Amino acid sequence: MKSGCWLRKLFSALAAVSLALVVPYPPTAHAQAASTATTPLAFDVATVKSVERDKIIAVDMRVYPGGRLLIRAYNLRMLIATAFNIPVWQVMGGQDWVDDLRYDIEGKPPAERRNAISGGEYSNFGIQDAQIRSMLQALRIERFQLKFHMENHQGTVYLLQRGKGPLRLERANLDLYTRSRDESIAPSDAYPTGDIGMVSGEPFGIHQTSMLQLARALSGDLRAPVIDQTGLPGFYNFKSRTVVTIEDFKNGGLSGIFVEAVPEMGLKLAKTTGAVEKLVIDDVQQPDTD
Distance of alpha carbon 245 from alpha carbon 229, whole angstroms: 31
**What element of type H or E holds 152?**
strand 147-162
- The number of C-alpha atoms within 13 Å of 276 and in the hemisphere containing its C-beta is 18
Q: Give the closest residue to 157 by CA, choosing from 210, 97, 106, 87.
A: 87
Please report, for residues 16, 58, 206, 232, the alpha-carbon distance to residue 170 in angstroms, rounded to integers and kept in the order given. Answer: 31, 27, 10, 12
Give the model's confidence band at 81: pLDDT under 50 very low, under 70 low, under 90 confident, else very high. very high
Identity of residue 269: L
Q: Give the closest residue to 160 by CA, choosing from 28, 273, 263, 22.
A: 263
**pLDDT for the residue numbered 114:** 85
**Selected residue with higher pLDDT from 200 and 189:** 200
- 278 pLDDT higher than 80: yes
pLDDT in tens, 22-42: 333 333 334 333 433 444 689
Give the model's confidence band at 204: pLDDT under 50 very low, under 70 low, under 90 confident, else very high. confident
The b-or-e profile of 160-194 (16+ CB within 10 A means b, else e) is bbebeeeebbeebeeebbeeeeeeeeeeeebbbbb
**pLDDT for the residue numbered 100:** 94
pTM, rounded to two decimals: 0.77
- 11 pLDDT higher than 90: no
For the ranges 40-49, 220-229, 248-257, which has the lowest average pLDDT? 248-257
Please report, for residues 15, 20, 68, 75, the alpha-carbon distance to residue 279 in angstroms, rounded to integers and kept in the order given. Answer: 19, 17, 26, 16
**pLDDT for the residue numbered 183:** 63
- 158 pLDDT higher than 50: yes
**pLDDT for the residue numbered 246:** 81
- 69 pLDDT higher than 70: yes
Mean pLDDT of the chain: 82
- 72 pLDDT higher than 70: yes
Q: Give the closest residue to 219 by CA, choosing from 73, 23, 6, 39.
A: 23
- 10 pLDDT higher than 60: no
- 139 pLDDT higher than 50: yes
pLDDT in tens, 246-272: 877 777 666 788 899 999 999 999 999
- 111 pLDDT higher than 70: yes
Give the model's confidence band at 212: pLDDT under 50 very low, under 70 low, under 90 confident, else very high. very high
Q: Supply the DSSP string of 60-80, one letter for each residue.
A: EEEE-TTS-EEEEEEEHHHHH
Q: Give the closest residue to 124 by CA, choosing from 201, 168, 62.
A: 62
Most confident of 15-24, 41-50, 121-130, 245-254: 41-50
Q: Is residue 123 a contact partner of residue 254, using CB atoms and an 8 Å limit?
A: no
Q: Give the closest residue to 205 by CA, choosing from 248, 160, 252, 170.
A: 170
Beta-carbon contacts of 55 under 8 Å, excluding residues fewer than 6 positions away, are none
Residue spans per domain, the chain: 3-146, 155-274
**What element of type H or E holds 246?**
helix 246-251
